Chains A and B, each alone.
Chain A
């Protein structure tokens, strides 16, 4: 299951990245070699970019890319560190679950709203916020499990 989730998130990140690189390259090409640049390229680039960031957000948590302060934590003893870790993971899960649940409401609000140049419902773009929350919640749960298991080590 864990591997499948990772594969989906990696594939989503790669496809969205190639999407925003491709859209921007089309924009540059059209500006130099065609009469006028199509109006949809900038919006498509932003759309792919937000999705790339959303898919990669969970992977970034898994691989420890987020920056944090270590000043107080470094001075704690092992049991206290474990307690802090568990609290951090639980609170992270809560934060992104709230974000995810309200992102669904946000998606619903976006159904009647049309994107200016691509013309699709904005809900499609807003789903990225659900993806971001979900990807972070999943890896925060894995981190929590790993912290809890440390007890038995």
Chain B
């Protein structure tokens, strides 16, 4: 019977049903065939969404959108350009740096690609950077965002496993930083090889002014992070504090928010969140069906039957997650696969926090893995470049991502050092 569930889900995906509805339809067909009372649909949907920690998702999305409306993207890019513009390929480095700073504000890779790409891709093309390279840098660096805190995928992982959001946020910081740094090295190497331009060095005053311009938004990330780590706020409370803070800064400091656009931003953020919550609701039912069919145990037995070696198991999981991540939306993939694979990983004594970072990193890499990576699609449409050109240009960045993934998989301390330092 489980095969019906999976087949209907895949058919719906191919027929261009929204992923959330594909989950719902496959569940409906399964429930009908099994003769389970249909009241399970609204019951599981409601219990899936009615979770206090999930409130932090619209909170972080809303605070990010409020900040962004204050012209934050441009301010962050300008600041990064002052810092790194004088280096060969400075605009590419600024693009990656902006993604790392913007990470604390947005929390989703696709929105990072869209907002930073809209400014950076045309600017890079205008300065003579290759169009494919400009799109590839933007798409690849945007995957750093959801690894560096605050991160929506980490909140989902915490909701599914009962792990501490604060620990997960901290666990993602070093791997995210490492990924960003690795991409900068690649961008610099390519820029030198292709003799991409550099700007005159900015004065200290320009750098200081650029920092002041972005200071308030960067402070928000610190309030969120240290509020959660210090036990001052719960993640949900931190997200609402961030909304309140963004409202005050956007209205009184950046002076770009008013009653009219606040309403518009709130609606926009709630529509994004609702599309995720419908997914979460149906995934709750989907997950329940998988559990009743004992699929997690079956997958666990199969993987562990193949090998009980920790690193071999992690390698298999990595391959599976990257493959799924290329075509499936991150949150959907996490909702369906994370609880199953966490059990397998824990059976070979992988720390759950370490595994959560591995899982999110894998799914992020999937977003830029050709031929279907979603971020590649977004950047290629912004840059008006063919998908094949962007895919080709993204290969060096993909190689760095795989290298960082291997490091994060093999060296648990990269993920566990900060949570142990601050929270033990």
Residues of A that sit less than 8 Å from B by CB? 10, 13-14, 17, 20-21, 24-25, 27-28, 42, 45-46, 49-50, 52-57, 59-61, 63, 65-73, 84, 87-88, 91-92, 95, 98-99, 102-103, 105-106, 109, 125-126, 128-129, 132-133, 136
Specify which chain B residues have a CB less than 8 angstroms from the CB of A109 in the assembled complex.
Answer: 39
Specify which chain B residues have a CB less than 8 angstroms from the CB of A133 in the assembled complex.
Answer: 42
Partner pick for B16 among A10, A28, A70, A129, CB 8 A cutoff:
A70
- For window 283-321 of chain B, which residues contact chain A by CB distance below 8 Å? none
Report whether B41 and A99 are in contact in the complex, using a CB–CB cutoff of 8 Å.
Answer: yes
Report the bound CA distance from A109 to B38 in whole Å.
14
Report whether A95 and B58 are in contact in the complex, using a CB–CB cutoff of 8 Å.
Answer: no
Cβ of B25 under 8 Å from chain A: yes
Q: Closest residue to A129 on the B side, CB-wise? A: B42
Report the bound CA distance from A126 to B49 in whole Å.
12
Partner pick for B267 among A14, A49, A69, A73, CB 8 A cutoff:
A14
Report whether B38 and A102 are in contact in the complex, using a CB–CB cutoff of 8 Å.
Answer: yes
Cβ of B270 under 8 Å from chain A: yes
Q: Interface on chain B toward A: helix, strand, loop, or mixed SS?
A: helix
Chain B 7-18: CB-based contact to A (< 8 A → 1; otherwise 0):
000001111111
Which residue, of A14, A17, A88, has the highest number of chain B Cβ atoms within 10 A? A17
Report the bound CA distance from A109 to B43 in whole Å.
10
Specify which chain B residues have a CB less than 8 angstroms from the CB of A13 in the assembled complex.
Answer: 266-267, 270
Specify which chain B residues have a CB less than 8 angstroms from the CB of A72 in the assembled complex.
Answer: 14-16
Report the bound CA distance from A24 to B63 in whole Å.
15
Specify which chain A residues have a CB less than 8 angstroms from the CB of B273 in the assembled complex.
Answer: 52-53, 56
Report whether B272 and A106 are in contact in the complex, using a CB–CB cutoff of 8 Å.
Answer: no
Report whether B278 and A95 are in contact in the complex, using a CB–CB cutoff of 8 Å.
Answer: no
Specify which chain A residues have a CB less than 8 angstroms from the CB of B14 in the assembled complex.
Answer: 69, 71-72
Cβ of B388 under 8 Å from chain A: no
B33–chain A nearest beta-carbon distance, Å: 14
Q: Closest residue to B19 on the A side, CB-wise? A: A67
Specify which chain A residues have a CB less than 8 angstroms from the CB of B13 in the assembled complex.
Answer: 68-69
Which residue, of B20, B55, B240, has the highest number of chain A Cβ atoms within 10 A? B55
Partner pick for B54 among A49, A54, A91, CB 8 A cutoff:
A49
Report whether B24 and A60 are in contact in the complex, using a CB–CB cutoff of 8 Å.
Answer: no
A126–chain B nearest beta-carbon distance, Å: 6
Q: Closest residue to A101 on the B side, CB-wise? A: B38
Report the bound CA distance from A88 to B54 in whole Å.
29
List 7 A-B pairs, Cβ < 8 Å. A49-B58, A68-B18, A69-B19, A69-B327, A95-B25, A126-B42, A136-B278
Partner pick for B49 among A50, A59, A87, CB 8 A cutoff:
A50
B110–chain A nearest beta-carbon distance, Å: 8
Cβ of B216 under 8 Å from chain A: no
A102–chain B nearest beta-carbon distance, Å: 5
